[in-house]
Copies of this chain bind each other. A is one copy, B any other.
Amino acid sequence: MPKMNAFYAQSGGVTAVINATACGVIETARKYRSRIGKVYAGRNGIIGALTEDMIDTGRETAGSIAALRHTPGGAFGSARYKLKGLEENRAQYERLIEVFKAHDIGYFFYNGGNDSMDTAHKVSLISKRMGFPVTCLGIPKTVDNDLPVTDNCPGFGSVAKYVAVSTREAALDVLSMSKTSTKVFILEVMGRHAGWIAAAGGLAGTKPGDAPHIILFPEIPFDQTAFLKRVKESVTKYDYCVIVVSEGARFADGRFLAEAGTRDAFGHAQLGGVAPVVAHMVRDNLGYKFHYAIADYLQRSARHIASATDVRQAYAVGKEAVKMALAGHTAVMPVIIRVSDQPYRWKIGQAPLSKIANKEKMLPRRYISRDGFSITEACRRYLSPLIRGEDYPPYINGLPKYPSLKNVPVPKKLKAGFVV
């Protein structure tokens, strides 16, 4: 293969470590200058390719690229934009190849979740059919930890650590106050479909009676009676109750608890998430004073408390994706393989994109306690290594130093624009 340029794009919700993956891709590509020319990044993800709005990462210093390793968010912009089936969206795929061709792009690194793996897979197919074969690598990224095959997903370990640390800290606060004030504290966390993040809250406690006393998983149909009974037991026994609830918690009929909220005078659903619904339920039925927090973006951008394991793995999948591409592999994704739990050892393997695309890995039932309100030892063994190690960013004047890139545009070559 002659020397070709590479295109890297970030996709979907960003994480505390997606830039560490970008760092792995760019630093590794720079080591193989004889084979990979420029590394272009999509401004706002794949949209940058479609609209020929690309960033020349070659204009960034080695220091700026190195700093990506400790900077949260998506340095080039990400996008929630899904390319649909080849037949309905042929024009989009063709445009993509046209842009790649115009810029001598022979490598496509797509950093995202299941949808993105599907897109990368399709681009590999259509590029071949169009006679301009592009080496397509998926690179895993998702706080939801729901990609199959890979043992875990970069991005998850850091949000898991944030949730476990925050639960432990808030629990100490609530316990201090429980005699005269707050008895019940609810922390709402992400995970619309899978309960991996909520499960991570379970790491906060290590012995019976420790918080969290209840975890509400999307995988377990919500049973109000059993839930309230458990809240009451916890308050009676320990004087407080800490609840970690997944935004995806739902009733047996599939309705989200978050949608069970009250409606305003115009019939609009209440805007709060699931935490206020659960809080309402506790107050109305048991009368306990409560507080709740909604971590939202704070949990997935909290680079200040990232897991060192996660950072290393995020970098590694970026680095290995480049190596796989150079070794001639296409339509594959680097995966994390767990070699052993204790001591935790892992290595990077490889899986075909077709096995990853559009599949979701739920929290297995054996990771959830029989009563459905906590995690099992097996779950703890799985989760624990993923949050290990601290990897603090540098600070200046009390604040983390998160530099932004210059993001210099690549001059356009195509006459036609493209509307996304």
Cβ of A168 and Cβ of B402 under 8 Å apart? Answer: yes
Instruction: Please give me the residue from chain B that is nearest to A269 by CB atom.
Output: B262
Assess whether A232 is interfacial by the CB under 8 Å rule.
no
Q: Find chain B residues with CB under 8 A from A112 CB.
A: none
Among candidates B177, B388, B392, residue contacting A398 with C-beta atoms closer than 8 Å: B388
Among candidates B166, B177, B263, B305, residue contacting A264 with C-beta atoms closer than 8 Å: B263
Among candidates B272, B307, B397, residue contacting A272 with C-beta atoms closer than 8 Å: B272
Tallying the copies of this chain within the complex gives 2
Assess whether A25 is interfacial by the CB under 8 Å rule.
no
Q: How far is the CB of A344 from chain B (nearest CB, A)?
A: 10
Q: How far is the CB of A386 from chain B (nearest CB, A)?
A: 8
Q: How far is the CB of A398 from chain B (nearest CB, A)?
A: 4
Assess whether A276 is interfacial by the CB under 8 Å rule.
yes
Q: Which of A164, A298, A305, A397 has the most CB of B within 10 A?
A: A298
- Map CB proximity to B onto A310-323 as digits: 1 under 8 Å, 0 otherwise: 00000000000000
Assess whether A292 is interfacial by the CB under 8 Å rule.
yes
Per the bound structure, the CA–CA distance linking A10 and B176 in Å amounts to 9
Cβ of A271 and Cβ of B279 under 8 Å apart? Answer: yes
Per the bound structure, the CA–CA distance linking A175 and B43 in Å amounts to 12
Instruction: Please give me the residue from chain B that is nearest to A74 by CB atom.
Output: B176
Assess whether A150 is interfacial by the CB under 8 Å rule.
no
Among candidates B73, B272, B387, residue contacting A399 with C-beta atoms closer than 8 Å: B387
Q: Find chain B residues with CB under 8 A from A13 CB.
A: 177
Cβ of A177 and Cβ of B304 under 8 Å apart? Answer: no
Among candidates B166, B169, B297, residue contacting A291 with C-beta atoms closer than 8 Å: B297
Cβ of B399 and Cβ of A204 under 8 Å apart? Answer: yes
Q: How far is the CB of A23 from chain B (nearest CB, A)?
A: 15
Assess whether A254 is interfacial by the CB under 8 Å rule.
no
Q: Find chain B residues with CB under 8 A from A75 CB.
A: 176
Among candidates B177, B276, B390, residue contacting A80 with C-beta atoms closer than 8 Å: B177
With A180-B47, A294-B292 as given contacts, are A300 and B165 in contact (CB-CB < 8 Å)? Answer: no
Per the bound structure, the CA–CA distance linking A364 and B343 in Å amounts to 55
Per the bound structure, the CA–CA distance linking A168 and B177 in Å amounts to 30
Assess whether A79 is interfacial by the CB under 8 Å rule.
yes
Assess whether A301 is interfacial by the CB under 8 Å rule.
yes
Cβ of B44 and Cβ of A173 under 8 Å apart? Answer: no
Cβ of A180 and Cβ of B295 under 8 Å apart? Answer: no
Instruction: Please give me the residue from chain B that is nearest to A169 by CB atom.
Output: B301
Per the bound structure, the CA–CA distance linking A181 and B181 in Å amounts to 39
A–B Cβ pairs within 8 angstroms, 14 of them: A47-B180, A72-B173, A73-B173, A74-B176, A77-B175, A79-B179, A80-B177, A169-B298, A173-B301, A182-B297, A293-B296, A293-B297, A304-B305, A309-B398
Given contacts A262-B264, A271-B280, 16 further A-B contacts (CB under 8 A): A10-B176, A72-B172, A73-B172, A73-B176, A74-B176, A78-B177, A79-B179, A168-B400, A172-B402, A270-B270, A270-B276, A272-B272, A292-B296, A298-B298, A304-B305, A384-B397
The 8 closest A-B pairs by CB, nearest first: A73-B172, A262-B264, A74-B176, A387-B398, A293-B296, A272-B272, A44-B179, A169-B301
